[in-house]
Amino acid sequence: MDNSFCIITISYSYCNQLNETVFSVNNFLSKIKLNFEEMEIGYILVVSEKLDIKEKKQLKKIFDSSNINSRVISGLDNGIYDAMNIGVNAAMEFGYEQCLFINSGSKLINKIKINDFKDFIFEYRDYVKLFGAYEYIPKIKKNKLLTPLSVKNWTKNPDVMPTAHQSIVYPTKLFANNPYISFQGMLASDYINLIYLLKINCKFISSKIFLTQYMNDGISSKKPYKSILQRYAGYYLITGKILKTIKYTLFWLAKTYLSRLIGIR
């Protein structure tokens, strides 16, 4: 469907954080629906653990409070990246043109100008669209502004994620022949996936819009050195660039160590 958009949420289990995310997504999508009635929008929720009757009723209550097309898939996946593929396959099945991953615990920013967001994602419908985010760092109890990197600079030196992985809107059709890339047991597959899309010449564009607020407490944050090693192992497997792999790995291992030593992370 042209001019259609969905949000996909991945969660390991049902929890209060998931409730907050679902409320946030419903509010955001309801605003879009209110302003653009002709636009097809939807919400796909993938929960790893099977939901019990009480949890299903709680989610139904939230979904029934809005007029958003919603689908809950539970108890079917084999890890987060398999769950993301399940979510994006559902998005393609329903014909959504654009998709955004918002994982449990993250929220959409209330002050987003819906018109600007809608115009941007459909003006650049064939691009991978990079938005800004607010990253909450629990250790220092502060928000960090995460502005998307310049696409021109990032494509020359793609040594990090260009923005938060939950502030990227993808053309759903990208996943039809290129499933979400995941190497067995790797923590950094979000980055690896973008490097793969870059290699097959997908187009990227940055926006000045800040889209999400997310908490820096995921497994990659808790195991930063393992994540860094796996990130650039994936980079090497896709690009074959050994010197850049060594350069990126050593730089980010040293930077992460120093950041932790002085208490920033």
pLDDT tens per residue, range 48-66: 777 677 777 777 777 776 6
The mean pLDDT of 195-217, rounded to a whole number, is: 88
For residue 41, what pLDDT is reported?
A: 92
What CA–CA distance (Å, rounded) separates 52 from 58?
10
What CA–CA distance (Å, rounded) separates 41 from 32?
8
Asked if residue 127 has pLDDT above 90, the reply is yes
H or E element: which one contains 28?
Answer: helix 16-35
For residue 140, what pLDDT is reported?
A: 62
What CA–CA distance (Å, rounded) separates 220 from 15?
20
What CA–CA distance (Å, rounded) separates 219 from 235?
19
What CA–CA distance (Å, rounded) separates 78 from 89?
15
- Nearest alpha-carbon partner for 139 in 223, 221, 21: 221
For residue 135, what pLDDT is reported?
A: 79
Higher-confidence position of 62 and 161: 161
Higher-confidence position of 8 and 12: 8
pTM for this model (two decimals): 0.88
- Tens of pLDDT, residue by residue over 63-91, are 776 678 888 887 776 777 888 888 999 99
Contact 88, 80 (CB under 8 A): no
For residue 139, what pLDDT is reported?
A: 62
What CA–CA distance (Å, rounded) separates 119 from 112?
13
For residue 35, what pLDDT is reported?
A: 87
Mean pLDDT score across all residues of the chain: 84
| Chain center to CA of 19 | 18
What CA–CA distance (Å, rounded) separates 77 from 86?
7
Pairing of strands 203-215, 107-108: antiparallel
92-96, 133-137, 152-156, 186-190: lowest mean pLDDT where? 186-190
Structure token pair of residue 46: 């993938």
- DSSP codes joined into one string, 198-254: HHTT-EEEEEEEEEEEEES-SHHHHSHHHHHHHHHHHHHHHH--HHHHHHHHHHHHH
